[in-house]
């Protein structure tokens, strides 16, 4: 994944906005409606965005405020893959009639994804997401540094959200020997709740989702996963706008940099029970 945060901040700094974008400059941004920033976020995606609350909702609100605009959110259900989401929510709109947004949040900042989607500009990494394991410490020791440490799940059950990287990994690792003990849930929150009730010994998923769902519960640990067998261990998430909307991208980039410099970005993550991992820091 592309995690060159320094390069991003230098490029974004080409347009200095200060704490708020002047009204005249805000009027020059390539937004669909004067005075408003339409922001696309995933639906039912706690702790990022769910029913008008979450980290991405707070970040979008803060970005809009710094641009002198009113935040208008559209929560959408993920399509088959990220290419579909970018088409539906950024550059064309959904065939069912949903018009695209001015900016979409939680987009992987990845060079290959960017090359496949030349109608959008992907930029502004604001968090480094990683894979992790939440476990009942009374039932499981800290996992080893390779997939061999997962042998315990040939006898213990482990949970994962359906259709995620964690689910795919658990179903295929170790020649598929864990398959019968992998329990699927509609959300990471549900999986963690089942673990806390003793239905399984661990849950695998993204660190942010596990951390928010687990909270400060006693008797449980959250361990990073650095297994070489795991093809995707970390990825940066950022934003996307239409490729030709360079002024808007630059303004959003500087607004994000200001959120980082002021410490507000870190506070947003802390308020939602998640440790902010700066892209490029791992």
pLDDT confidence of residue 4: 39
Strand partners, 223: 133
Distance between CA atoms of 277 and 20, rounded to whole angstroms?
Answer: 25
pLDDT beyond 90 at 262: yes
pLDDT confidence of residue 25: 65
Average pLDDT over residues 101-113: 97
Distance between CA atoms of 181 and 194, rounded to whole angstroms?
Answer: 14
Residue 128 and residue 234 in contact, taking contact as beta carbons nearer than 8 Å: yes
pLDDT confidence of residue 80: 87
Q: Are strands 120-136 and 202-206 parallel, antiparallel or unpaired?
A: antiparallel
Confidence of residue 177 (pLDDT cuts 50, 70, 90): very high
Distance between CA atoms of 6 and 35, rounded to whole angstroms?
Answer: 30
Say which range, 68-82, 123-137, 225-239, has the weakest mean pLDDT.
Answer: 225-239
Q: What angle do CA 148, 153, 156 make, to 5 degrees?
A: 150
pLDDT confidence of residue 1: 40
Say which range, 8-17, 42-51, 228-237, has the weakest mean pLDDT.
Answer: 8-17
pLDDT beyond 60 at 250: yes
pTM for this entry: 0.87
List the one residue out of 72, 73, 66 whose CA is nearest residue 50.
73
pLDDT confidence of residue 18: 43
Could you give all domains of the chain from N- to C-terminal order, each with its CATH number? 5-128+234-271 (3.40.190.10), 129-224 (3.40.190.10)
Average pLDDT over residues 104-123: 97
pLDDT beyond 60 at 24: no
pLDDT digits (tens, 9 = 90+) for 196-222: 999 999 999 999 999 999 998 899 999
Matching residue, tokens 């660190």: 207
Residue 177 and residue 201 in contact, taking contact as beta carbons nearer than 8 Å: no
Say which range, 26-30, 60-64, 266-270, has the weakest mean pLDDT.
Answer: 26-30
Looking at per-residue confidence, does 2 or 132 come out higher? 132
Average pLDDT over residues 156-161: 98
User: What percent of the chain stands above pLDDT 70?
Assistant: 90
Confidence of residue 230 (pLDDT cuts 50, 70, 90): confident
DSSP H/E element including 191: helix 188-196
């Amino acid at each position: 994944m592309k995690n060159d945060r320094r390069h991003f901040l230098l490029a974004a700094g080409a347009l200095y906005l200060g704490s708020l974008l002047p009204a005249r400059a805000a009027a020059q941004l390539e937004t669909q409606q004067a005075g408003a920033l339409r922001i696309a976020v995933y639906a039912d995606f706690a702790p990022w965005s769910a029913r008008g609350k979450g980290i991405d909702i707070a970040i979008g609100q803060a970005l809009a405020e710094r641009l002198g605009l009113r935040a208008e959110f559209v929560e959408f259900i993920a399509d088959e893959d990220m290419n579909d989401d970018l088409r539906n929510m950024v550059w064309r709109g959904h065939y069912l009639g949903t018009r695209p947004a001015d900016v979409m949040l939680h987009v992987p900042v990845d060079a290959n994804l960017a090359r496949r989607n030349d109608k959008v500009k992907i930029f502004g990494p604001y968090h480094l997401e990683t894979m992790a394991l939440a476990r009942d410490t009374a039932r499981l020791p800290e996992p080893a540094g390779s997939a061999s440490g997962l042998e315990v799940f040939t006898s213990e059950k482990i949970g994962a959200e359906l259709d995620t990287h964690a689910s795919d990994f658990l179903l295929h690792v170790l020649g598929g020997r864990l398959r019968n003990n992998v329990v699927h849930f509609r959300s990471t929150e549900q999986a963690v709740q089942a673990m806390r009730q003793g239905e399984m010994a661990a849950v695998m998923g993204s660190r942010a989702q596990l951390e928010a769902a687990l909270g400060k519960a006693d008797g449980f640990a959250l361990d990073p996963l650095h297994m070489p067998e795991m093809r995707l261990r970390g990825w940066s998430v950022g934003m996307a706008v239409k490729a030709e909307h360079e002024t808007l991208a630059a303004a959003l980039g500087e607004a994000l940099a200001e959120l980082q410099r002021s410490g507000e970005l870190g506070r947003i993550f802390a308020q939602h029970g998640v440790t902010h991992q700066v892209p490029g820091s791992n």
